[in-house]
Structure 1
Amino acid sequence: MTSSFTELPVDSGDPDNPIGWPEYRQTHAAAAERTGETESVVVGEARIDDVPAVVIAWEFGFLGGSLGQRTGDRIEAAFSHARERKLPVVSLIATGGSRMQHGMRALSQLQRIARASAAARAEGVAQISVLRDPTTGGGWATLGAGSDVVLGLPFAQVGFAGSRVRPATSPSEAYTAEAKFEWGQVDRLVEQDELAEVLARWLRLLSSPTAEPAPPPTALREVSLPETGWEAIQAARASSRPRAAEYLDAYFDWRENVQGDRAGNVDSGVLCGFGWRDGRTIAYAAQCGTATRPAGFRTAARMVRTASRLGIPVLTLVDTPGAANDADAEQAGVGPAIAELFEAMATATVPVTTLVIGEGGSGGALAFAAPEATWMAPDAYFSVTSPEAAAAILKRPLRDVPEVTERLRVRPQDLVDLGLARGIVRP
């Protein structure tokens, strides 16, 4: 997978035995003889398709890839090297969890690993994890689940509880990379023979910061500006209008998606990820024309925060009739989720550019919009609320919706005149 690998000079010393576990030294020696390694992880600097990175690779055959004192030493050294060299970190995980024979000394390594990871994160070091079989316990709950991008090998066992300690009644399929992908905790499933190529693409994306803002996409079709507000609504709602995926494919040379809110949910109506355009990386969060659910807002917020930390500009595409307002959305916290995205956008330390490509429905759309850097497509609108909702609030019949729409000033040119949009893009 790597074109070169240089192991870091970490002194393993004699195998430690902090709580005096009987016969631990013999067990350690047998694992070393069996695997040819002196610990459960190997760390070093590698080049993956000529992209440099720090690699933390687990050897599951060494005491089940368990985390002990020496393991913590090596992982801490790897992150320190990554910070010094400003290199991304790739964690190839295969572990059963903390080393039981080290007692609480082993468990405390999770705090140590978290500190090392957080310190690197604060300095803009990108992190990618690859979930191999198995990824359980602290390996999953630190570097596995906590990386910027999480890739999973098909059929890998993934979960906080290992197979010997989880409830007997729990379905085994819940502890798989596939389940974690479905629940928005893994960004992509990758076949083993594709891993090197996918890693290289991600490393290139996450290692290309730039201070330049993303230019707004051009319109994908030639249409006249609407003469009335109701015409603007109808143009934005037309089935023939280009959607987010078409805009993203036309805008980027290639791109990689991320998946879900990391809390068990995915909104298929929001596309987030990083794309390559004209030799640089741009992050994106795009609405796909549906009512945006809490997971969509949280995934977009995660995307904006990650891009800010890595120094990568952001492009957002607005297209929603509004935030989801059913009972399930309320229970899932749609209000707090919108607030989370508003905060991420307000505190972004990188330029954010927005293009409204269709419907701009109320606060659910505005949360995706960049203040002072929003552009309009000619077949789009932006409104304080939907025309139908406005008529209902005013206790007007449905036949008056077009008239009410005119009062709302929702046309692209209206938004420019009001100073809420910078301009209207053209093909």
Structure 2
Amino acid sequence: MPESAREVIEAVASAFAELPGELPADAGIDGPIGWRGYDDARARARGRTGESESVVCGVGKVGGTEAMLIAFEFGFLGGSLGSGTGLRLESAFSRARELGVPVVSLIATGGSRMQEGMRALSQLQRIARESALTRKAGLPQIAVLREPTTGGGWATLGAGADVTLAVPGAQVGFAGSRVRPPGDPAAYTAEGQLASGHVDQLVEPGELRSKLERWLRLLTTPAEQAAPPPPALGGDGLPDTGWAAVRQARAQARPHTESYVDAYFDWREDLRGDRCGGVDEGVLCGFGQRDGTTVAYAAQCGTATRPAGFRTAARLVRLADRLGIPVLTLVDTPGAANDADAERAGAGPAIAELFAAIAAAQVPVTTLVIGEGGSGGALAFAAPERTWVTPDSYFSVTSPEAAARILKRGEDEVPATADQLRLRPQDLVELGIARGIVAPAR
């Protein structure tokens, strides 16, 4: 049996003030559609759980952050969504906007309540509107997927959250266990949703409070100014030729993305996945604390960036922009993946999505090229007029090898082609592509 709503609230919050539990005026006996025995079922649920509905809502203190907590009581008719649930959720979201606090949904539900028919299903539209209004107000929403999270609860509060956490082993999916077709059961688990890019992190129950404390702090303490570019972690010697710049950027021994991100932030939490079924392990996105305030990051890790990577980065930039959090991007890629699978997955539209997200951002975006800057796949991560480069990097219209092929040159002409492309760090500054070359930390 899953933990009760109040047990979960007690596990994550140090204080909690419950909202009044308003209930709908049912039309007739046994609910809005006259389902025989519905009143008795609700009475049994109240006696078993001590709750009058399937959600408990109120303002709680999670670490140092006040938040609206929405906890599902699975023991009340399977945590199902009915008219009363919708009313309580509407009240909770409205109160969160009045107070200007984030919303944390602790979900355990089997979906819409059969005994209320379409009246129950229509609550999903009510929930979606409340979530949209809260998003428009610039308030973050975090979901915790407990056992189970299926149906409309997953398709609104769960999948619609800004950050989605899940308890390992939880059943997570739009189709519940009694209605799904035969097939791969792993697809309907927290682990399966993580692998598919629909869940950001798995969190053990005992670590849930500390994880929520970290996420709430990250999403509510934006830095007030643009993120400064990180200092170079390698040497400060500049390459004499274009080909030397390329070889230096491709060297395995130079500092890579993880080193830059770890050195830049005091601590951080990663986002995962594009919410379209894809994960690119070569793109690292998330939020980090630096000197007590938050900066978002979207970083390439040296591989060819796949469509899921561009979409995940665009998701990160849009979320940071809505929450007023400045963004740091790190460029390091030979270019966008251009194989047939990448084309079928929408390489062009995904790159366009990231270009648009950065172009539309109202928060400042800072870019540092730390390795290879290969063509449009690299440029999509870069901020116009706020791009810096390290001494061991290059940025080029395409790779010297591809440029030679396009110009029908032989392999022996690749180094000379690299020189002609003017891709060295000092060339990029002279051309106005980069604002400057960052020096190593002193």
TM-score, scaled to structure 2: 0.95
Match of residue 108, structure 1, among 122, 130, 138: 122
Deviations 1:84-120 (A, max 9, x none): 1111100000000001001000000000000000000
Which residue is equivalent to 2:3?
Answer: none
- Aligned 8 A contact 2:80 2:112 in 1: yes
Report SS of the residue matched to 2:396.
Answer: coil
Deviations 1:144-167 (A, max 9, x none): 001010001000000000001111
1:397 and 2:440 are equivalent in the alignment? no
Cα distance in 2 between the residues matched to 1:140 and 1:358: 40
Report SS of the residue matched to 1:382.
Answer: strand
AA aligned opposite 2:392: D
1:124 and 2:135 are equivalent in the alignment? no
1:349 and 2:358 are equivalent in the alignment? no
Match of residue 20, structure 2, among 9, 21, 25: 9
Mapping of residues 112-261 of structure 1, within 5 Å: 112-167=126-181, 169-261=182-274
Which residue is equivalent to 1:67?
Answer: 81
Report SS of the residue matched to 2:394.
Answer: coil
Which residue is equivalent to 1:262?
Answer: 275
1:39 and 2:50 are equivalent in the alignment? no
Report SS of the residue matched to 2:237.
Answer: coil
Deviation of 1:171 (Å): 2.2
Cα distance in 2 between the residues matched to 1:183 and 1:11: 38
Cα distance in 1 between the residues matched to 2:254 and 2:235: 11
Which residue is equivalent to 1:367?
Answer: 380
Let me know the Cα RMSD of the aligned residues.
0.9
Report SS of the residue matched to 1:82.
Answer: helix
Which moves more between the two structures, 55-64 or 391-400? 391-400
- Aligned 8 A contact 1:415 1:421 in 2: yes
Cα distance in 2 between the residues matched to 1:199 and 1:419: 43
AA aligned opposite 1:207: T
Cα distance in 2 between the residues matched to 1:210 and 1:376: 23
- Aligned 8 A contact 1:362 1:382 in 2: yes
Match of residue 56, structure 1, among 45, 70, 78: 70
- Aligned 8 A contact 1:212 1:313 in 2: yes
Deviation of 1:14 (Å): 6.1
Q: Percent identity at matched positions? A: 68
Deviations 1:142-198 (A, max 9, x none): 01001010001000000000001111x222211100000001000000000000000
Cα distance in 2 between the residues matched to 1:263 and 1:211: 32
AA aligned opposite 1:251: Y
Deviation of 1:29 (Å): 0.8
Cα distance in 1 between the residues matched to 2:396 and 2:125: 47
- Aligned 8 A contact 1:97 1:139 in 2: yes
Deviations 1:56-99 (A, max 9, x none): 10000000000001100111111111111111100000000001
- Aligned 8 A contact 2:335 2:378 in 1: yes
- Aligned 8 A contact 1:3 1:50 in 2: no
- Aligned 8 A contact 1:10 1:77 in 2: no
Mapping of residues 375-390 of structure 1, within 5 Å: 375-390=388-403
AA aligned opposite 2:193: K
Cα distance in 1 between the residues matched to 2:327 and 2:310: 15
- Aligned 8 A contact 2:103 2:142 in 1: yes
Deviation of 1:13 (Å): 5.9
Deviation of 1:50 (Å): 2.5
Which residue is equivalent to 2:301?
Answer: 288
* Count of residues in correspondence between the two structures: 426
Which residue is equivalent to 1:92?
Answer: 106
- Aligned 8 A contact 2:304 2:336 in 1: yes
- Aligned 8 A contact 1:79 1:116 in 2: yes
Cα distance in 1 between the residues matched to 2:173 and 2:437: 48
Deviations 1:305-352 (A, max 9, x none): 000000000000000000000010011010100000000010011100
Deviation of 1:11 (Å): 2.1
Structure 1 residue ranges without an equivalent (≥5): none
Deviation of 1:9 (Å): 2.0
Structure 2 residue ranges without an equivalent (≥5): 1-11
AA aligned opposite 1:5: F
